[in-house]
Amino acid sequence: MKKKILLFCLTLSASLTTIAQAPVASFSLSTTPCLNQDFFPTNTSTGTPTLTFNWSIFPTTNTILPSSSAASPTITFGNTGNYTITLVATNTVGSSSFTMAINGVKTCPACLDTIRMIKNIDTLTTYAASNSSLTLGCQSGFSGFLTGTNCYKDKEFAQYFPASSYSNTPLPQVNSVIVLFDSLGTKATGATQATQIYCKIYGGTVGYGPNSIISIKGDSLGKIAASTNKTTTVTYCGSPTYTFATTKIIPFKFIFSTPTIIPATGFFASVQTPFSSAVDSIKIFSNTKTNLSNDSSSWVLQYSNNWKTIRYNKNHKIQLAILPIISCRPVAGVHENTTDFNSNITVMPNPSNGEFSLIFTLTKQENVMVNIFNPLGQLISTDKLENVKNNLINIDLRNRSQGIYFIEITNGNEKVLKKIIITN
């Protein structure tokens, strides 16, 4: 019996000796890294027992998240030039290193951007529609809203975006559109909660207006009016320091079911009014009137189905608070992994001076954790938010040094990492 036990132990020992393997460090990259853009090396190291890792990069103008000991970290290069990445894999048997040279890191085209025609020196506002002796119901008294529901029964308001506003995004597509509604004029009755408000993408030119519809997305007026992310200020459209005293902004995101490929020559994004309803209304923010240039980039669809510039038809040289979110469409054959949780969280503006807005447009209420990491990968802030659905969270990092930071949002099942840039 003792011989059998001894033989078993010797066999087991020999088996363990055979299984143990010295580490062989290795990793690969599926893309060429760009300046200030995340990339994710694939760790293909082997060895038994369990390996531990250490990543190092020279020069040190980079970030490694969540830490340099992660098996599969997120890496960002902070300067142009040449880099060397080294991975060291270690276990009880030994240690191994693998080094890869990355030459010619440069700025690559933006693949996620929010475009807007309203500048940060402008002030968001709304105007009442003017009276007209030629239009029945508009001759005197309150005529409704210049950019919204009014007595003229204007059907749509559209903002033009020239090719130059997204020329640094290759193969551009619109994923969603944020519209800033005024809460005082955006309302539905109890019986008309389901009234549909449509956001549309058109082709066309700034000189001739919208032509063919490329895509359309509708959502209920009741949902828009009841949004819980109402705010008195936004930092990503118009002056970031202006605060409203008597109204609130509703940043509402229309999310298209599939990304909309936009022309390389320019496009329009529009919002349709509930023009056929006597009780529903919407009110869209614009910027203040300006005489600095003859701007004709915003258009209105009249009740007669004729598109006219707001400048000539309404005598207002303004732009509309309609903000398309664009991205690069994936190359054929490459899978794009986007979840609802990820696509319904937006950070704006980015880059900024340290003031950011985290915009949630989730399909259901969720409890989320928001963590912020500095350029060294150190946790500098953590917040637990409950019952988040349509919310706007302001983040103030103005007391932080300029550089690349990361916002991590998790609901316990999914995790989203958003890169933000502070520029002083």
Residue 300 · residue 83 · CB < 8 Å: no
**Residue-level pLDDT at 333:** 37
**Residue-level pLDDT at 100:** 92
Q: Is 198 exposed, middle or buried (0-12, 13-18, 19+ CB in 10 A)?
A: middle
161 or 175: which carries more pLDDT confidence? 161
The total number of residues written for the chain in this structure: 424
Q: Over the chain, what is the mean pLDDT?
A: 86
**Residue-level pLDDT at 393:** 87
**Residue-level pLDDT at 292:** 54
Tokens for 97, please give them: 């290193």
18 band by pLDDT with thresholds 50, 70 and 90? low
Give CA–CA dist 360/342, Å, rounded: 10
Q: Is the pLDDT of residue 15 over 70?
A: no
Chain position carrying tokens 């005197």: 140
**Residue-level pLDDT at 337:** 44
Average pLDDT over residues 88-100: 93
Domain boundaries, the chain: 21-105, 112-327, 340-422
**Residue-level pLDDT at 16:** 46
Cα–Cα nearest to 284, from 194, 243, 226, 224:
224
Express each pLDDT in 123-151 by its tens digit.
Answer: 999 999 999 998 988 999 999 999 999 99
**Residue-level pLDDT at 147:** 97
Q: Is 299 exposed, middle or buried (0-12, 13-18, 19+ CB in 10 A)?
A: buried
Express each pLDDT in 175-218 by its tens digit.
Answer: 899 999 999 999 999 999 999 999 999 999 999 999 999 999 99
Q: Is the pLDDT of residue 39 over 80?
A: yes
**Cβ neighbours of residue 241 closer than 8 Å, sequence gap 6 or more:** 233
Express each pLDDT in 370-418 by its tens digit.
Answer: 999 887 778 899 999 988 887 888 899 999 888 888 898 988 888 888 8
Q: What is the CATH number of domain 21-105?
A: 2.60.40.10
422 band by pLDDT with thresholds 50, 70 and 90? confident
Tokens for 317, please give them: 């040289």
Three state DSSP letters for the chain: CHHHHHHHHHHHHHHHHHHCEEEECCEECCCCCCECCCECCEECCEEECCCEEEEEEECCCEEEECCCCCCCCEEEECCCEEEEEEEEEECCCCEEEEEEEEEEECCCCCCEEECCCCCCCCCEECCECCCCCCCCCCCCCCCEECCECECCCCCEEEEEEEHHHCCCCCCEEEEEEEEEEECCCCECCCCCCCCEEEEEEEEEECCCEEEEEEEEEEEEHHHHHCCCCCECCCCCCCCCCCCCCCCCEEEEEEEEEEEEECCCCEEEEEEECCCCCCCCECEECEECCCCCCCCCCEEEECCCCCEEEHHHHCCCCCCECEEEEEEECCCCCCCCCCCHHHHCEEEECCCECCEEEEEEEEEEEEEEEEEEECCCCCEEEEEEEEEEEEEEEEEECCCCCCEEEEEEEECCCCEEEEEEEECC
**Residue-level pLDDT at 110:** 58
Average pLDDT over residues 339-360: 83
336 band by pLDDT with thresholds 50, 70 and 90? very low
Q: For the whole model, what pTM was predicted? A: 0.66
Q: Is the pLDDT of residue 32 over 70?
A: yes
Average pLDDT over residues 83-93: 94
Tell me the fold of 340-422. Immunoglobulin-like (2.60.40)
**Residue-level pLDDT at 109:** 62
**Residue-level pLDDT at 14:** 44
**Residue-level pLDDT at 107:** 73
**Residue-level pLDDT at 298:** 95
293 band by pLDDT with thresholds 50, 70 and 90? low
Hey, do 21-105 and 340-422 end up sharing a CATH topology, with the first three levels equal?
A: yes
Chain position carrying tokens 């990793």: 27
